[in-house]
Amino acid sequence: MKKHIFSALIFVPYLTLAALPTSAFWYDPGEVRIIDTAQGSAPKVEFFRHIKRPTSISYSTVTRNERNDIVCEGRGGPFTYKPGRGILSGKDLVWWSAGDERCGNLPVGHYWPETCWTVVAPTRALLPDFLKDAFGWLLPPKRVCRVSQPFEIY
């Protein structure tokens, strides 16, 4: 009986944390908005995010055209995100796609990007420093993705 109670004390919190969405404790990316723009210019990006605790996060982004072809993409990290919330402004789709210059010269058409963020070691962000090395690996990486509304190059 004692083994079952001990097992429950360990696995119930683990399963609870494993089932939580990324936005609950770590990172809420909000909405990514790409502004329609004229051909030859990189579209501007508007983005509101809420970083809930210091967290190591990597990202990837893919922009597709109307035929579902990948027209530009990028990935980066992991980076340490610091707590805070706010609007990201003054950036364009080339920057958003880790410097992929194809994003700055898209042909006329409609496009939509999908961006995914992965909290690399979610448990580490929840533990005090003295427990991070011993137990920081317990939870698998947590991922959250956002597909933006379509934008137009005219």
The pLDDT tens digits for 58-111 are 999 999 999 999 999 999 999 998 998 888 888 999 999 999 999 999 999 999
Whether residue 78 is preceded by a cis peptide bond, meaning omega within 30 degrees of 0, is: yes
Domain limits, the chain: 22-153
Please give the CATH architecture assigned to the domain spanning 22-153.
Answer: Sandwich (2.60)
Three-state secondary-structure class, residue 17: helix
pLDDT score of 5: 65
Average pLDDT over every residue of 24-30:
84
Backbone angles phi, psi at 29, to 5 degrees: -75, -10
Instruction: Residue 132: count other Cβ atoms within 10 Å of its Cβ.
Output: 15
**Longest alpha-carbon distance in the chain:** 70
Q: What is the value of pTM for the model shown?
A: 0.82
Please identify which residue in the block is written with the tokens 């920057």.
95
More confident residue, 150 or 142: 150
